[in-house]
């Protein structure tokens, strides 16, 4: 376990995490009592952001033309209080009902700090950037989404578009209840969209809901455990749900079981080839 202390002039908070290979599990986050709010306010206001383009350019040059690097704005202001280091999701839900004024005070501070990040990302060498995601529709309703998420996507998108850049968000959970609200956003792409059977929307549903957005897929994680033939067939059937594969990226945004990654990726590629063979390219 690793205990990290955050010492400020107004108090100290800490986190406790357990390293687990490629990830880590948090057992304790910063907010543990109402007295901790003043510490969180100080931490958020004290943050300083500045460009670091040189490392991005060095990495891009090292990997060559075979890779395209993506930037990130971090989490949306409200999502930062749900998925970030400040409090557990369950804690957020309780605090939203018991001390919403404190939650919204943190939210307002994060909004101000996020606005410092938008021009830095837009002026960066990155061609596109993700803005948050991992929204849980059981917690965030369409009403809350439109009030606390949509304006920030659109504000960041306006700045990105002025620089000729694209913006998207990471949506790999159930999106059905939020689909109409997501369509109202200025997001250019939906990254990590995970179709049924792992969520409540098919690829066909997504294309109908978001006809003008690029769909950057996460091949359904549960299907990696099927046979190679099944994975290939599922790939073809998945793409058969849409009339035109333009604007669709087949991706994998979760971890594949170690014994399956090579075989599953090969089967997906075979399925893509089979599906592509149905289209006649006319010169």
Q: Helix, strand, or coil here: 144?
A: helix
| Rounded Cα gap, residues 160 and 123, in angstroms | 8
pLDDT in tens, 13-65: 999 999 988 788 999 999 999 999 999 999 999 999 999 999 999 999 999 98
Q: Angle at Cα 53 formed by Cα 52 and Cα 59, nearest 5°?
A: 110
Q: How many CA atoms lie within 13 A of 230 on its CB side?
A: 8
Instruction: At 174, give phi and psi (nearest 5°).
Output: -60, 130
pLDDT tens digits, one per residue of 219-245 = 999 999 999 999 999 999 999 999 999
User: What's the sign of the alpha-carbon dihedral 237, 238, 239, 240?
Assistant: positive
Considering only CA atoms, give the Rg of the chain.
21
Q: CA-based angle 213:216:221, to the nearest 5?
A: 140
Q: What is the pLDDT of residue 200?
A: 97
Q: Does pLDDT of 281 surpass 70?
A: no
Per-residue pLDDT reduced to its tens digit, 124-133: 999 999 999 9
Beta strand spans in 9-121 (E): 11-20, 23-28, 71-72
In 231-272, DSSP assigns E strands to: 248-249
Distances (CA, A) of 220 to 12, 165, 261, 270: 42, 28, 13, 16
In the chain, what percentage of residues exceed pLDDT 90?
93
Nearest Cα residue to 228 out of 197, 260, 202: 260
pLDDT of residue 21: 81
Q: Which helix (H) or strand (E) holds 143?
A: helix 142-148
In contact, 175 and 206? CB cutoff 8 Å: yes
By DSSP bridging, strand 166-170 and strand 128-133 are parallel
Residue 282 has pLDDT above 60, yes or no: no
pLDDT in tens, 133-191: 999 999 999 999 999 999 999 999 999 999 999 999 999 999 999 999 999 999 999 99
Summarize pLDDT for 70-120 with one digit per residue, the tens. 999 999 999 999 998 999 999 999 999 999 999 999 999 999 999 999 999
Q: What pLDDT score does 23 carry?
A: 83
State phi, psi for 248 to the nearest 5 degrees.
Answer: -125, 130
Nearest-10 crossing angle of helices 100-122, 37-46: 10
Residue labelled with tokens 């910063």: 30
d(CA 208, CA 242): 9
Q: Which residues contact 67 (CB under 8 A, 6 or more apart)?
A: 60
pLDDT score for 278: 81
pLDDT at 97: 97
């Amino acid at each position: 376990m690793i205990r990290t202390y955050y010492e400020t002039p107004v108090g100290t908070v800490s986190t406790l995490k357990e390293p687990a290979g490629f990830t880590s599990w948090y057992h304790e986050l910063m907010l543990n009592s109402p007295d901790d709010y003043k510490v969180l306010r100080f931490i958020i206001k004290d943050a300083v952001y500045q460009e670091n383009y040189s490392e991005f350019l060095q990495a891009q040059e090292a990997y060559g033309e075979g890779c395209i690097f993506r930037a990130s704005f971090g989490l949306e202001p409200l999502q930062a209080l749900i998925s970030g280091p400040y409090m557990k999701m369950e804690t957020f839900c309780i605090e939203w009902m018991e001390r919403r004024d404190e939650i919204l005070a943190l939210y307002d501070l994060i909004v101000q700090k996020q606005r410092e990040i938008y021009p830095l990302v837009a002026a960066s060498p990155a061609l596109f950037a993700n803005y948050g995601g991992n929204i849980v529709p059981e917690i965030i309703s369409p009403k809350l989404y439109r009030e606390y998420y949509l304006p920030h996507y659109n504000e960041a998108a306006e700045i990105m578009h002025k620089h000729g850049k694209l913006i998207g968000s990471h949506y790999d959970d159930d999106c059905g209840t939020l689909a109409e609200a997501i369509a109202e956003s200025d997001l250019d792409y939906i990254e990590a969209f995970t179709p049924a059977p792992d969520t409540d929307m098919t690829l066909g549903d997504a294309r109908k809901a978001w006809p003008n957005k690029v769909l950057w897929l996460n091949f359904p994680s549960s299907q990696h455990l099927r046979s190679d033939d099944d994975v290939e067939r599922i790939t073809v059937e998945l793409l058969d749900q849409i009339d035109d594969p333009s604007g669709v990226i087949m991706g994998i945004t979760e971890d594949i079981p170690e014994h399956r990654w090579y075989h599953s990726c090969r089967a997906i590629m075979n399925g893509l080839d089979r599906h592509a063979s149905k289209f006649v390219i006319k010169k």
